[in-house]
Amino acid sequence: MRKMLGIFLGLLLATTQLLAQNRTLSGKVTSSDGSPIPNVSVLVKGTNIGTTTTTDGSYSLSAPEGAKTLIFSSVGLIQQEISIGNKQTIDAALKTSDEALQEVVVVGYGTQRRGEFTGSVASVKGAVIAQKPVQSFEQALGGRAAGVQITVPNGVVNNPPVFRVRGTNSISLSSYPLIVIDGVPTYTGDIGGTNAPTNPLASINPNDIESIDIAKDAAATSIYGSRAANGVVFVTTKKGKAGKTKITYDGWASWSNPIRLVDVLDGAQYTAYKNQALRNSNLYNDNAADAVADMYFKQATGPNGQPVNTNWYDEVYRTGFSHNHSISVSGANESTSYYFGAGYTNQEGILKRNDFKRQNILFNVDSRLNKVLTVGGKIAFSNELNIANGPTGGLSGEGFTVAGLGRTAVVNSPNVSPYNNDGSYNIGSQYIGVQDNVGISQVGFYNPVPLLDLNRSDNENNHLQANIYVQVKPFSWLTLKSLYGVDNIYLDNESFQTPVHGDGRTAVGSATSSYTKPKTWLWTNTAQFNYDFNTVHSMSLLVGSEQQRRTSKGFGLNRQGLSDPQFDIIQAGYNLNNSSGLVFGENYMLSGFGRLNYNYDKRYYVSGNIRQDEYSGLGKKKGTFWGASLAWEVTNEKFWESTGLNNILSSLKVRGSYGKVGNIGGIGNYESYSTYTTSLYGGIPTLGLGAIGNPTLAWETSTKTDVGLSFGVLNDKITFDVAYYHNDIDNLILGVTQAPSTGLGSINSNVGRMYNKGLELVLNATPIESKDFSWTTSFNISFNKNEVTSLAPGLDELPFSTSGNELTNKTLPGYSLGQLFVVRTGGVDPATGRRIFYTKDGSPVLYQHYVAPGSGQFNWSNPDGTSHVPITQAADGIIYAPTQPKSYGGWDNTFRYKGFELNALITYQTGFYLYYGTQAGLRDQRYWNNEVGVLTAWQKPGDVSKFPKPYYNDNVSNGSTMPISENVVKGDFLKLRNLTLSYTLPAGLTKKVGMTNGRFYVSAQNLAMITNYPGSDPETSTNGGENSGQGVDRNNVANARILTVGLNVGF
Amino acid sequence: MIIKEITMRNKIYAIFFGLILTSAGACKRELLNPVPETSVSDVTAFDTPDRVLSQVNGLYAQLKGGKFYGGRYVVYNDVRGEDFTNVTNNNITAADLWSFSINGSSATIMDTWARAYSTINQCNLFLEGMAETGTAVVGEAKAKNYLAEAKFIRGLSYYSLLQLFAKPYWDGNGSQPGLPLRLTGIKGPGSSDLVRSTVAEVYAQVIADLNSAETDLPLTYPTGATQAFTNTTRAHRNTAIALKTRVYLSMRKYAEVITEANKIVPATAPFKAATGIAHELQADITNVFKTPYTTSESIMSMPFTTDSRDVSGTQNQLGTYFYNNGSVGSAEFMLAVDGIITDAGWKTTDKRRSFVYTNATTSRKYLSKYTQPSPYTDYVPVIRYAEVLLNLAEAKVRTTNTVDAQAIALLNAVRGRSDATTVFTAGDFATSTALINAILKERRIELIGEGIRNLDIMRLGLNLPARPGKAETKPGESGYILPISNNELIFNTLMTDN
């Protein structure tokens, strides 16, 4: 094709030379760094006359008389027009699209120049997240963009973070923003079918990302209509850049460790302390001679004759070693650009047997066949292994699982060993064996060692993301584009539970495998009209249509009852076979959309977006969504310079937007139907009313208002962005519970209301910039206020139970989403050593777990010693503290000195509280191990201690039976999230060895933190991304500190 | 050349515009209205005879739910009595129900309440759907049987709810608050509010349903390999009669108990039903609790298979509550050390003593009527012929106020098949009360673990047993009957708590 084109152009040149009197123009085309660019097309505007630059970037061209303008263009470079005038020599410096990306924002079905964009969008360059030790790119976004809140729930690898744009914008549906990768919306959340979390966004190698644009307001998001309420994140992968073929290698290795594990009692301390608690409860008995059964704790003796002192942290956690390698080959000539990237990563988590491995390739190609026709596309394929041994305790719903590793490590007694002295596993009838403890029926949950050795809960994700497009530009003002994309996931889940110990015991071994295929195809057709007239009017219009089809099918098998203990795969011998993981779903969305941008003289900007979506999953299928915005570029006003205002402010832009968008994220495929489902009755097929549908179910609606101001001072050395937003969310879908005597559960209906409003400030500055030294800094802070204004009729409050077990949060009108709901406590009574609880109306009630017979005392008593009815959460719990942060943000600093660069990212959140439920466990007076603080527990009248007098089996004073305010802690933190020191080899040196660049770095994640939070990390979520269950740390896995060394080289 | 280029261009445009047009035309609007492929739409659920039959079985499957007759309902009625002691102290497995400290927001209460009403609603929907289309689809004869089955299940469900959530019939002769009496099918929002009917009104509905069922149920199911199975797992005429003996006993309408029982119990031994299925006691009681669980003694049982759709689910199975042997059973409740197992008259040679299992490790005694391993496939008995015999025996004594000979014969039939060495005679009973007490004790021995004890406590007005830290609860005291589901109180604004 290229050859044909060359011949064709040559013929053209030959023809035109005969026709007109010509003059010769010449020049050189360079990139912005001055290096020559070959193969750039140089064309006389309005004709077919042209040539291409040679290897040294020069060209020579015979132009007809009357030729006014030359057009320089190449794939991957920004086209430039230069007027000829009287000049003979015309040089051009072309910007690469990389640089151009800093100047454009991705807005959905196209890009727009940043300066002309009137919506609210935060952009993050791919480079800043490329070499971070994360599994998916969004884990590294925290603190980097105003209005974007990222919470990494714990140290379990590939756990999807809580990702919020401008607050939580739904209650029952997803609050995760829509993620659009190269034009194709993709899947989010944990799609895995095992205990190993599987974030589909981890399929993208962060190294392959060019830019991330996070659209926040109605103007920026409404082009995605019914899916835009949580914001839209546009991810653009890398494309080839003009110039000779570039080869890069990026590699890093990292070591991760759990941070801030709470100190717990050792074997001797545990034994002594628990025995004291037994004595206090009058249960201790080591007198073999009497008639009462002996009961006391006794440290086991290990094979070396020494007392056993097991540190269960060592059995569960580890130093995780990870390494990552990416190579890319890219380049472009005048007609074709290409980017080929391949990556391999093998990441170990801080928990044993918790790994993430990925092999991925990405191929992006764009080819301009002629002036009119461009075709291109991409293929991205990724193979990921997510590995866990079973429940880690780190996923939503795992908070109370006794197999949870995070929980086991703090509960199990340090006075027993994972092994018996003969080397066998220490296993009791159900839980870990009690070894030498006497008369104690249980000293922990499962022994994690055999579970880590023998169990697995893995999945393999093969993820294909591909698209192809054709673009026709018949006239300079018209671009037609058709894009077809697929996003297919092939997920293979596989787990095994040993019959030896743990959850597989009663089933005598259990293996579950399933195969699930979520698939998407998408076809987008757009027409873009650009028209400028009278030099001051500039207009562009986009119209388009889109269809998106998603299907999901899955099937699987659960087998139980191992026929031979040696087996551990599902294909082996079992007694019992059952289906598992049956999935069938389909949905379809049909959309039409349009966008009109107009500006007058680059001073006044108007923009409007409209989209109509029809979605199969809804009862009311059709919805229209829109956003409109205005902006005033004050700097371009004539009075700006004439009045000298430009001396004060180097730039000033005011903008505002308003619109209505929707949310359907996470809605079921058949929510509008009432269906009869099948089951079995003694092996006979049955049919019965299953789900009750709502034939009028519609999308949730967000009405968004946004007002913004951007200005710069000192020639834009310092720039400020300020934005105020208000998002009114209506028609929130909530399950409207019917009285159970109707025989129905809840029916999803559009009933709730809530709002988020807030302020965002961004400051970018380059305080120092000299030849050798520079300092650039970027600070952002976001304030958000969330309030639920109404729930459903008859639904005064929406309780949220952590892992279905402990009522921790309540959502109710007049409060922010998911407030903590606890019973107030007031320390320990110095006179009696009892925990002080408060009734709902605030009167103190003392609790003592053990009451000696005949003492005249009570479990629950008033301060005067008289009996009081038991305190319960139902009667005495109050809405206690908010879980949504009032403010959050980041401060990024980069210092450069010659080849050295030091980057420090500080992130913070303030004004929120956490229910640190793990602490209830760490102070539980059953056989559970305790934090070392209990050694300072109250002993005698007058003692002032945080810890009540220990009574064995007391699980009330510590908050195990009901959440108490003692375990609610302010979560405010300031974190040195990332610190990177790098050195870039001098250009001269790299050139000598044939490299284009070379860079080495060392980096640390979560290096330091300022917080009063006593747990591992206040940035935590036991309930994952659950909207109304945030702010809970219940038996969660710790977070990690990661040290990384790496290098980037280019050839 | 230029002309040619334009032509090429035009071709490309043509192709491209063609593509756009195709795409506009190719949008698949029918995909906006998908037909669910893994379930059946409510509007077509009565369209074929197979679907209607599947729905009938679906009603039983509702009844069989783990929170209801497939497990927990039976457990709750047993552990409210004096013969079980909670071991695990786990409120999720009814420790709070056992200790009489339960509140209405507990899942124990809410789930069982909801499941029973879901069963009732499905019965109502079925009755209406049959009237609308189903009867025409399956024909009058079959429809009559099916409707009778639905009424039987509805009647059983209301009766079961009354035993836990309403005061006994004798208290004010049924004038106390009963249940919201729902008799029409509900498929959408807007029906939440309904006031409680009286206990008598609900019992009247139960009797009406069972009478109607008796009239229209088949005498037996078709012969064939599955006959015994179907006769045990689906209601037939004798099932309705047998259940009526239980219902009338709860109402203390002893004459009616006798009337009903006489339909299926001959006046003298051997006691074997003369009409319908020939119910009789098995020579060896342990055969009743063994595969295939379909002896003629089991008038009705809830069946299970190992299929995961056909089990009662984690923490619902009788075996996990009552049994503990290695990996089988979770030892939630052991046999109370001072319960019926201490009864001296219950001889060690009594075959039913084989249901008392001693765990070698813990030395605790557990009930071993349900011993199948995970997924716990033992059938759950709903009603057995032995109970009917004892129901009749008690009613006879109470109506005659004598040491009734037939009652002694019935008692001997139950005792004698497991303990041939014990034969009661009239001389053993000084008064009719002594005979009644013997019958009641026999019920505790014979029917333990079958969800009967609380029914007896309620109808007899006995105190609920004392628990650690809690004295006996007398009839009428708080906690004697269960609190109403919290959700019912919230969402049914006309509902009142117990």
For A97-124, what is each residue's pLDDT tens digit? 555 555 788 999 998 888 888 899 999 9
Q: Is the pLDDT higher at A852 or at A243?
A: A852
Q: Kindly give the pairing relationship between strand A41-44 and strand A50-52.
A: antiparallel
For chain B, the average pLDDT equals 93
Q: Is the pLDDT higher at A745 or at B205?
A: B205
- Given a cut of 80, is residue B18 above it in pLDDT? no
Q: Is A1032 helix (H, G, I), strand (E, B) or coil?
A: strand
**Contact criterion met (CB < 8 Å) for A676 and B45:** yes
- Given a cut of 90, is residue A42 above it in pLDDT? no
Q: How far is B49 from chain A (nearest CA, A)?
A: 12
Q: How confident is the model at residue B3 (pLDDT cuts 50, 70, 90)?
A: very low
Residue A265: both structure tokens together = 């009692």
pLDDT value, residue A83:
81
pLDDT value, residue A98:
55
Which residues of chain A from 434 to 473 reach within 8 Å of chain B, CB to CB? 470, 472
Q: How far is B130 from chain A (nearest CA, A)?
A: 14
CB contacts, 8 Å: B127 with chain A = none
Q: What is the 3-state secondary structure (H, E, C) of A335-383?
A: CEEEEEEEEEEEEECCECCCEEEEEEEEEEEEEECCCCEEEEEEEEEEE
A638-681 pLDDT per residue, tens: 888 888 888 888 889 999 999 999 999 999 999 999 999 999 99
Residue burial A339-377, b: 16+ Cβ < 10 Å; e: rest: bbbbbbbebbbbbbbbbbbbebebbbbbbbbbbbbbebb
Locate all alpha helices (DSSP H) within A145-233, ordered by sequence. 218-221
- The CA–CA distances, whole Å, from B81 to A7, B251, B388, B414 equal 99, 20, 21, 21
B75-90 pLDDT per residue, tens: 999 999 999 999 887 8
Contact A215, A291 (CB under 8 A): no
- Given a cut of 90, is residue A925 above it in pLDDT? yes
Does the pTM surpass 0.80? The reply is yes
Q: How confident is the model at residue A796 (pLDDT cuts 50, 70, 90)?
A: confident
State whether residue A583 sits within 8 Å of chain B by CB: no
The DSSP letter of residue A562 is: E
B153-205 pLDDT per residue, tens: 999 999 999 999 999 999 999 999 999 999 999 999 889 999 999 999 999 99
Question: Which of B20, B127, B158 should be substituted to probe chain A, the one whose Cβ sees the most A Cβ atoms within 10 Å?
Answer: B20
Residue A878: both structure tokens together = 């109050």
Question: Which of A484, A543, A620, A684 should be substituted to probe chain B, the one whose Cβ sees the most B Cβ atoms within 10 Å?
Answer: A684
CB contacts, 8 Å: A745 with chain B = 114
CB contacts, 8 Å: B61 with chain A = 679-681, 686, 688
- Given a cut of 60, is residue B280 above it in pLDDT? yes
**Radius of gyration for chain A, computed over Cα atoms and rounded to the nearest angstrom:** 33
Q: How confident is the model at residue A64 (pLDDT cuts 50, 70, 90)?
A: confident
Locate all alpha helices (DSSP H) within A180-325, ordered by sequence. 218-221, 267-280, 312-316
A299-313 pLDDT per residue, tens: 999 999 999 999 999
Across the interface, which of A547, A670, A749 has its CB nearest the CB of B27? A547
Q: What element of type H or E holds B263?
A: helix B254-264
Across the interface, which of A688, A692, A741 has its CB nearest the CB of B488? A741
Q: Kindly give the pairing relationship between strand A148-151 and strand A510-533.
A: unpaired
**Cα gap A651→A638, rounded to integer Å:** 13
Contact A728, A702 (CB under 8 A): yes
Q: How confident is the model at residue A92 (pLDDT cuts 50, 70, 90)?
A: confident
- Cβ neighbors of A326 (< 8 A, separation 6 or more) are A205, A207, A208, A248, A249, A250, A251, A341, A342, A343, A344
Q: How confident is the model at residue A19 (pLDDT cuts 50, 70, 90)?
A: very low
Phi-psi region of B416 (alpha: psi -120 to 50; beta: other; left: phi over 0): alpha
Q: How far is B194 from chain A (nearest CA, A)?
A: 9
Q: Which of A90-94, A148-152, A975-979 has the lowest mean pLDDT?
A: A90-94
**Contact criterion met (CB < 8 Å) for A683 and B57:** no
Q: How confident is the model at residue A5 (pLDDT cuts 50, 70, 90)?
A: very low
CB contacts, 8 Å: B179 with chain A = 741
Which residues of chain A from 540 to 569 reach within 8 Å of chain B, CB to CB? 545, 547, 549, 558, 560-561
Across the interface, which of A674, A742, A874 has its CB nearest the CB of B121? A742
Q: How confident is the model at residue A14 (pLDDT cuts 50, 70, 90)?
A: very low
Q: Nearest to residue A712, comparing CAs of A790, A788, A766?
A: A766
State whether residue A14 sits within 8 Å of chain B by CB: no
Q: Is A473 helix (H, G, I), strand (E, B) or coil?
A: strand
Instruction: Write the DSSP assignment of A264-277 as a string of letters.
Output: B--HHHHHHHHHHH
- Given a cut of 60, is residue B8 above it in pLDDT? yes
The DSSP letter of residue B211 is: H
For chain A, the average pLDDT equals 92
What is the mean pLDDT of the segment spanning A34-40?
76
Contact A474, A482 (CB under 8 A): no
Looking at chain A, the whole-number percentage of residues with pLDDT higher than 70 is 97
**Cα gap B192→B188, rounded to integer Å:** 10
pLDDT value, residue A15:
41
Q: What element of type H or E holds B320?
A: helix B318-322
**Contact criterion met (CB < 8 Å) for B194 and A560:** no
CB contacts, 8 Å: B42 with chain A = 673-676, 689
Q: How confident is the model at residue A593 (pLDDT cuts 50, 70, 90)?
A: very high
Q: How far is A613 from chain B (nearest CA, A)?
A: 11
What is the mean pLDDT of the segment spanning A856-874?
92
Q: How far is B365 from chain A (nearest CA, A)?
A: 17
State whether residue A615 sits within 8 Å of chain B by CB: yes
Q: How confident is the model at residue A742 (pLDDT cuts 50, 70, 90)?
A: very high
Bond into A474 cis (ω within 30): no
- The CA–CA distances, whole Å, from A598 to A593, A891, A954, B295, B417 equal 17, 35, 70, 85, 96
Question: Which of B12, B63, B179, B489 should be substituted to probe chain A, the one whose Cβ sees the most A Cβ atoms within 10 Å?
Answer: B12
What is the mean pLDDT of the segment spanning B99-128?
94
SS3 of chain A: helix, strand, coil, percent, to 5: 10, 50, 40
**Contact criterion met (CB < 8 Å) for A682 and B179:** no
Size of interface A-B (CB pairs under 8 A): 235
A628-644 pLDDT per residue, tens: 999 999 988 888 888 88
Q: Nearest to residue A669, comparing CAs of A623, A619, A622?
A: A619
**Contact criterion met (CB < 8 Å) for A681 and B306:** no
- Given a cut of 50, is residue A13 above it in pLDDT? no
Q: Which of A49-58, A261-270, A440-449, A936-945 has the lowest mean pLDDT?
A: A49-58
**Cα gap B150→B156, rounded to integer Å:** 10
Question: Which of A473, A676, A677, A747 should be substituted to probe chain B, the one whose Cβ sees the most B Cβ atoms within 10 Å?
Answer: A676
Q: Is A820 helix (H, G, I), strand (E, B) or coil?
A: strand
Question: Which of A615, A742, A795, A812 should be substituted to probe chain B, the one whose Cβ sees the most B Cβ atoms within 10 Å?
Answer: A742
B467-478 pLDDT per residue, tens: 987 889 999 998
Tell me the HSE value of A67 on the side-chain side, using a 13 A CA sphere: 28
pLDDT value, residue B25:
55
Looking at chain A, the whole-number percentage of residues with pLDDT higher than 90 is 77
CB contacts, 8 Å: A741 with chain B = 113, 117, 179-180, 182, 194, 488, 492, 495
Q: Which of A17-21, A137-141, A874-878 has the lowest mean pLDDT?
A: A17-21
What does residue A751 show for φ and ψ, rounded to 5 degrees? Answer: -130, -35
What does residue A82 show for φ and ψ, rounded to 5 degrees? Answer: -130, 130
pLDDT value, residue A348:
97
Across the interface, which of B19, B33, B487 has its CB nearest the CB of A616? B33
- Cβ neighbors of A839 (< 8 A, separation 6 or more) are A845, A871, A875, A876
**Contact criterion met (CB < 8 Å) for B118 and A743:** yes
- Given a cut of 80, is residue B308 above it in pLDDT? yes
Length of chain B in terms of residues written: 498
Looking at chain B, the whole-number percentage of residues with pLDDT higher than 90 is 83
A691-720 pLDDT per residue, tens: 899 999 999 999 999 999 999 998 888 999
Distance, CA of B269 to chain centre: 29
pLDDT value, residue A636:
87
Q: How confident is the model at residue A390 (pLDDT cuts 50, 70, 90)?
A: very high
A604-634 pLDDT per residue, tens: 999 999 999 999 999 999 999 999 999 999 9
Q: How confident is the model at residue A18 (pLDDT cuts 50, 70, 90)?
A: very low
Distance, CA of B202 to chain centre: 17
A195-218 pLDDT per residue, tens: 999 999 999 999 999 999 999 999
**Cα gap B327→B311, rounded to integer Å:** 18
Looking at chain B, the whole-number percentage of residues with pLDDT higher than 70 is 95
Tell me the HSE value of A985 on the side-chain side, using a 13 A CA sphere: 18
Tell me the HSE value of B133 on the side-chain side, using a 13 A CA sphere: 12
- Given a cut of 90, is residue B103 above it in pLDDT? no
**Contact criterion met (CB < 8 Å) for A741 and B2:** no
**Contact criterion met (CB < 8 Å) for A506 and B327:** yes
- Given a cut of 70, is residue B23 above it in pLDDT? no
- Given a cut of 50, is residue A407 above it in pLDDT? yes
**Contact criterion met (CB < 8 Å) for A681 and B327:** no
Chain B residue whose CA is closest to A805: B92
Chain A residue whose CA is closest to B362: A441
B24-66 pLDDT per residue, tens: 557 788 999 998 888 998 889 999 999 999 999 999 999 999 9
**Contact criterion met (CB < 8 Å) for B308 and A523:** no
Contact A965, A959 (CB under 8 A): no
pLDDT value, residue A565:
86
pLDDT value, residue A32:
65
pLDDT value, residue B412:
97
Q: How far is A585 from chain B (nearest CA, A)?
A: 8
Q: What element of type H or E holds B210?
A: helix B199-216
State whether residue A586 sits within 8 Å of chain B by CB: yes
pLDDT value, residue A760:
97
